[in-house]
Every structure is written in structure tokens, then in C-alpha cells.
Amino acid sequence: MMNAPADFDSIPLIDYAAIASRDPAERSRAAQDLRRACEQVGFFYVRNHGVPQPVIDACFEQAQRFFAQPLAVKMQSHADRASQHRGYSAMGDEQVDEAGQKDRNEAFDLSHDVPRDDPEVLRGCWLSGPNLWPEPEPPGFRAALEAYYAAVLSLGRRLFGAFALALGMPEDSFDAMLHRPGSFMRLLHYPPQPPQEEALGIGEHSDYECFTILAQDEVGGLEVCNAAGRWIPAPPIAGTFVINIGDMMARWTNDRFASTRHRVINRSGRERYSIPFFYGVDYDVTIATLPACLAPGELARYAPVNAHDYVAGRINATYGGA
């Protein structure tokens, strides 16, 4: 059971430019702000993140075009055709809240695009492999998604350095675990629903990996649960990503960083699109409690676990098997 966040009523904003500052005092203050956000909320906005806005806009444009296609066309790239979890997922395919209803969204998933003879695939990493691209491919679809993937992958590496500083560790502490971080990117489409309808775009859940980098359009709908059980809106803020801590980072930090449960309800009456990027570490890494997160005499709350096996098990539980 992951540690519950505090009774917060808003999502903090972190300026990455301050974390990257050459002024040691400014960097220290920014690292402390980040630490408080991760411990007390588990969510924060980040601005000045370095991902070009045209790259983000192009990805959203492709998402809208892809999901606007007839279902029969989208089903040609359905995830059932892939050995790994890649490609299209239709409305009702997912249920992240095991006690709830099917999620009211459709998605397109991709990750590192590697051939089936890649050494990682050959050694049994189920999550590694080739992407399943649409056929026929919408013009510019793959190029826009791959450009976005590369830009956010770079941001995630920099964020790992910021998390290290927030934990009082050297900034390069995670670098050796990020040669090919196990990460997934999704395009998500939430259709509008009647205001009185109780269906959730995504049910209450926490994320699996170390952290999530979320781009959301202007529609909104993301809600974050605080310690009192109140749902706090995380509305879109122009020029920012929403970052949230995942279960793997909570385990790694012995629950010092909170993996906070959240959901999406699209009450806007409009189409909603978002692009979450689930950021992990190399699949051969063992996630064991970081020494910096153990006080003298404190015991680890979680047994060590392989990064690949942990994420694969969580995905299988959501989708009912590989």
C-alpha cells in the first residue's frame, strides 16, 4: 500500500529553470520545493521544461486525426496484433480500477521501437519490441510521435537528476540506469459524456513506473485524490506538463515520495485529448529501497523487484493478460 499524500487543495508549480540554475542557492531552494511537492502531493506542474511547443502541438494534431478515423480503420492497428502492448486500444478495452467500470477512452501506445532480434527482446523482456504503426499510416503520424517521444525522453532524464537533488543525492545518481529507460507513451481520447453520467474516462488508479509526464489539452478533467479523500482538479496550465510520481518511485523511496491516486472525468461536453509518458528505468534494474531514503534503524517497506517484471505484471493485471 503506497503512502497517502497530504490534505492538499492545489497542485504546486515547479520551475525547471530554477533547478537547472547555476546559482547553488537557487538550485537548493528549487530542489526543496520539488521535494515538498513529491512528498506532500505526488503531483506538480513543471514549466520551462525545454520541450518545444511545436513538437507538442504536432503530436496533439496527429492524435485528433488518428482518433477521428472510423473504428474499422483504427482496429487494423489494434494492440492484439502486437506481441507487446503497442498500438490501438478501443473504448472499453481497459479497466484500471479493478473495482470499477470499464474506462471511457481510446488509446494508441508506443515505446522504444526495436526489432525482434534486439538483445533485450531475445533475453525475454516482454515489454521490448517493435511498435505497431497504423496501416495505412496517416500522413506525418509516425514522424510527429517519434519527435515527441525523443523530446520527452530527454526531459525525463533531466527530471531524474532533479529528483536525485530533491532526495539529497548526487544529480547523476540515476544516470547509469537510464541507457534505455523502459517507458511508454500514449495518445488518449476521451469522448464527451452527459453531465449526469457516472462513467469515468479513467478510473481511480496510480501509475506503475517512476513518474509520468502528462501533456493535456485545454479541456481538463484530471482529478487528484488528497489524504481526506477529496478530488482536487489539476486543470491545464499553458506551457506546462503535469508530473506525477508512480508506484515504482514510491517503492524506491520507501514511500517518501507519494504515488497519488487520480482519475479523469470529461464533463466538458467536448472531446478531450492527452498524452501521458510513463517513465521508468532500464529493464534490468532492481528496484530496492534507496539508502538515502532510510532513516537510521528504518526498515524497507518493499522487497526488491526487477523493473521489467514489476511493470509487466501491472500491465497484465489491467489488460487481463499479455
Banded model confidence at residue 268, pLDDT cuts 50, 70, 90? confident
Domains within the chain, CATH numbers bracketed: 13-319 (2.60.120.330)
- Stretch 114-123: mean pLDDT, rounded? 89
Q: Which residue type sits at 132?
A: L
Banded model confidence at residue 316, pLDDT cuts 50, 70, 90? confident
Query: Tell me, what's the pLDDT at 315?
Result: 81
Query: Tell me, what's the pLDDT at 1?
Result: 47
The answer to whether the pTM exceeds 0.85 is yes
* pLDDT tens by residue, 216-237: 999 989 999 998 999 999 999 9
Q: Please tell me the distance from the alpha carbon of residue 318 to that of residue 250, in angstroms, as a whole number.
A: 20
Q: Please tell me the distance from the alpha carbon of residue 322 to that of residue 319, in angstroms, as a whole number.
A: 7
Give, in order, the Cα–Cα distances in Å from 286 to each of 20, 85, 302.
Answer: 28, 22, 12
Q: Please tell me the distance from the alpha carbon of residue 301 to that of residue 51, in angstroms, as a whole number.
A: 36
Banded model confidence at residue 199, pLDDT cuts 50, 70, 90? low
Angle between helices 24-40 and 141-166 in degrees, nearest 10:
100
Question: Among the listed ranges 16-20, 47-51, 111-115, 272-276, which one has the minimum average pLDDT value?
Answer: 111-115
Q: Which three cell numbers stand for residue 137?
A: 499510416
Give the distance from CA 239 to its chain's centroid.
Answer: 18
**Residue spans of alpha helices (H) in the chain:** 16-19, 24-40, 53-67, 71-74, 119-122, 141-166, 247-252, 307-319
At residue 90, the 3 state secondary structure works out as coil
For the chain, what is the mean pLDDT?
91
